Structures are given as structure tokens and as C-alpha cells.
Amino acid sequence: MNSLFDSVYKIMVDSFPMEEIRSYEGQKELLSREDYYIETYEQEGQLLGICAYYIFDDFLYIENLACKPSARGLGIGTKLVQAILKEANGRQVILEVEPPTDEITKRRIRFYERLGFTFNPYEHFQAPLNPTTGMVELKIMSSLGALTEEQQQAYRRVLNEKVYLVDPNFMI
């Protein structure tokens, strides 16, 4: 019998390029952290969507939002993000998206914009999440309006240190 974690990880693998997710062991290890959470959406006993996020002192960071391919377009992602925004209780929520280079990436950015997020144009790189991949260029979106470059760098320092486990000033 598959564990809930196995089902969560399968959705991640089906939804993200390998350079944007951790290894199975690396992802499972996060479950022991006190600042890491996974919100799930289930229907009729079946896991359909997940939102993995961190709660830090000043902000929340959504690391992964994904639905089973067969459940996309049903509003599940919207419900999951709205739950995180409610939990943030007025604090900033940030997340990373791929730069808008094709219709899929542009559609993803529009999805978050409809939920109130702002696309920030500043340079941002995700440190490698597993030994077989390199860093990835991404952009940061924020829930409380546009960030200044200095504000984004402050959030990036926290992400570098606490999420990616690299030097706080990595690629800043």
C-alpha cells in the first residue's frame, strides 16, 4: 500500500522537471522539519492536489503546488493557494515560477496573478536541489504587491539558507 507521502511525491514527479524537485529521500527528509508543511486536497479518498510550503517568521514560501494531471483545471490549485493565503494571515507569501518564455509558463503566471500575486522581474536562481541537477533561473511572485529588489534579496537570503541549504548570499 502506498503511503500518503508516496502519493504526494508522485504528483511532484508528474508535475515538475527533475531539477525543480528533490530526490525521494531528500523530499521525505523535509517532513521532519518544524517549518515545512504539506496541504493536500483529497476527494473520495483520492489525493488530487498538494501544496508544499514553509512558514518563516516574516513570510510563507510556497515551494510546490501541483495537481494530478487528471485533476487539473478543476479549481484545486486555487483552493490550495487560498488556504495558504488564509494561513498567512496578512503576511507575505512568495513563490517561484519559471520565466515567461512560452504559453504554459505565461499561463502559470496569470493563474497566480488572478490569485493576487505580483510577478517580480528581478534575477533569481534556485540552488541545485539534488546532486544530479544544476541551478535553475526562476522568478519570484509575491502576494502583497511588488517587491523592491532589496526586499526580494532579503527573501532570497532566507530561501538560500533555510530551503536550499546554501550560503545566504548565493547568486545575490
**In the prediction, which pLDDT does 134 show?**
86
pLDDT at 130: 79
3-state SS, residue 27: helix
- Closest C-alpha to 56, from 161, 132, 169: 161
**What pLDDT does residue 76 have?**
98
Question: Which one is the CATH code of 4-163: 2.60.40.10, 2.30.30.90, 3.40.630.30, 3.40.50.1980?
Answer: 3.40.630.30
- For residue 140, list its beta bridge partners: 96, 120
| Nearby residues of 34 by Cβ (< 8 Å), 6 or more positions away | none
Query: Which residues does 78 contact at the CB level (< 8 Å), separation at least 6?
Result: 111, 115
Report pLDDT for 18.
86
pLDDT of residue 2: 61
- 158 backbone φψ class: left, alpha, beta (φ>0; ψ -120 to 50): alpha
- The set of residues, in sequence order, having a beta carbon less than 8 Å from that of 150 and lying 6+ positions away, is none
Please report the pLDDT score of residue 133 as a whole number.
83
> Rounded to two decimals, what is the model's pTM?
0.95
Structural contact between residues 50 and 40, judged by C-beta atoms closer than 8 angstroms: yes
H or E, element range at 158: helix 149-158
Q: Provide the residue ranges of all domains of the chain, joining segments of one domain with +.
A: 4-163
Provide the pLDDT for residue 131.
78
pLDDT value, residue 169: 96
pLDDT at site 1: 40
Q: What is the mean pLDDT of each run of 10 residues along the chain (172 residues)?
A: 86 92 94 97 95 97 96 96 98 97 96 98 92 90 98 97 96 92
